[in-house]
Chains A and B, each alone.
Chain A
Amino acid sequence: MTTTAVSQHQTKWWSGGKSPFNIEYGKLMMWYFLMSDSFTFGAFLISYGTIRFSQNYWPSPSFVFNAFPGAGHANLPLAFVSLMTFILIMSSVTMVLAVHEGHHGNKKGVVKWLAWTIVGGFAFLGCQAWEWHHLITGAHNVLVDGKIEQWGQSMSHNPWGPLVPHEELHKLGLSVAEGEHVYTPGPVAFGGYFYGITGFHGFHVFSGVIINIIMLIMAQTGVFDRKGHYLMIEKAGLYWHFVDLVWVFVFLCFYLV
């Protein structure tokens, strides 16, 4: 690019013949897609917030999410989701490193960092599968119509209501093993929102992994070298970072507050 062209660009962005946003068409459209997608996620999360604000009681996240694979019944609030968050941040870093190598036309670097990003994506999906499985198949004592039932977290049942005091149980003629507790049913909407929103996010992670695998194959077979640029990696990168960005807010709304 000559200096005259640069000064022209700086004075008249909208006189035609050039990109007024100084950005490649595909990348611009990716940005607009991500903006609209953020409204989709935003609508889901705000709807969740609305329902939560309309309830007198909502379970505390540290109480619901306190399990870790292989740790049995140990009480480890938020430990597993911290690991998931760390995996996603890390894979975002490897993705930005892949984009960085792409800027310099370094095929080997792109392939290496993309591969790590894909590994991170699968690791996250694996964690989510374990978490869902644990919540669905869990058995928690819930007091229903004067009887104790065993509930998992599902779309129609929520076992995370307030604790029933022991004297209350004695009055009803019920008893549980030492160290066990009985809860009242919690707000039903919890399950639908949790599985719906983390599932929608998980689906984004899954499609991001698929896109990254396609990018990896294209980079490996030299498609981008023949094109002379790695702009496709940048677009895939934007999508992947968006997935990480959404997780920041999912993490905030479901696990932290």
Chain B
Amino acid sequence: MEHPPATEVVIHHEPPSSTKRIWKVFWILLIITLVELGLGLSLYALDLPEGLRMHLIKGVIIILSLAKAYYIVSVFMHLGDEIRNMIMTIVVPLMLFIWFILAFLGDGNSYKNLRNKYDPYYRDRGTQEQQLKKEDRLEKKGGKD
């Protein structure tokens, strides 16, 4: 091209004529949120001790949140309608979050373990707090009977 046009050239895709897709995504978001809330409240109602079952419920909530994020970005923000090059420049840098989250949460956890090992005051307070939490749970269970 010897004479590039002065203004940028963008091919517009035909806008959808109906709002059906928007409302469909609205219902999806609403239902996912309600399920999340149900799971969040079940954590409260069941009052589970730290363990596999609690982490499983929390894991499901996190996956549902990611699904919500996908729908908002892809449909409401129309990223899904852009060309692949464009999608990749946004999505690929966000992959850094995987490393970011794993590294920092691991760091926090290791800090806790180190303090529990080497700082007697911190460890004793932690044990006391766990003890109080346990008694609270037993008292509530006793109250229900």
Contact = CB atoms under 8 A, between A and B. Distances in A.
Nearest to A42: B97
- Top 10 closest A-B pairs, CB basis? A56-B126, A53-B108, A62-B44, A103-B15, A162-B132, A17-B4, A50-B108, A18-B9, A21-B86, A57-B129
Contact of A46 (B1, B73, B104, B112): B104
Interface of B: 1, 4-5, 8-12, 15-17, 19, 22-23, 26, 29-30, 33, 36-37, 39-41, 43-44, 58, 61-62, 65, 68-69, 72-73, 75-79, 82-83, 85-86, 89-90, 93-94, 96-97, 100-101, 104-105, 107-109, 111-112, 115-116, 122, 125-126, 129-130, 132-133, 135-136, 139
A94 B90 CA distance: 25
Interface of A: 1, 5-6, 9, 13, 15-25, 28, 31-32, 35, 38-39, 42, 46-47, 49-57, 60-63, 77-78, 82, 85-86, 89, 92-93, 95-97, 99-100, 103-104, 161-165, 184, 234, 237-238, 241-242, 244-245, 248-249, 251-252, 255-257
Binding site secondary structure of chain B: helix
A257 B61 contact: yes
A9 B126 contact: no
Contacts of A242: 77
B65 A53 contact: no
Tell which of B40, B77, B79, B108 has the most Cβ of chain A within 10 Å. Answer: B77
A245 B8 CA distance: 30
B83 A22 contact: yes
A244 B44 CA distance: 25
A63 B73 CA distance: 32
Contacts of B40: 61-62, 78, 255-257
Contacts of A20: 85
A5 B130 CA distance: 69
Nearest to B135: A165
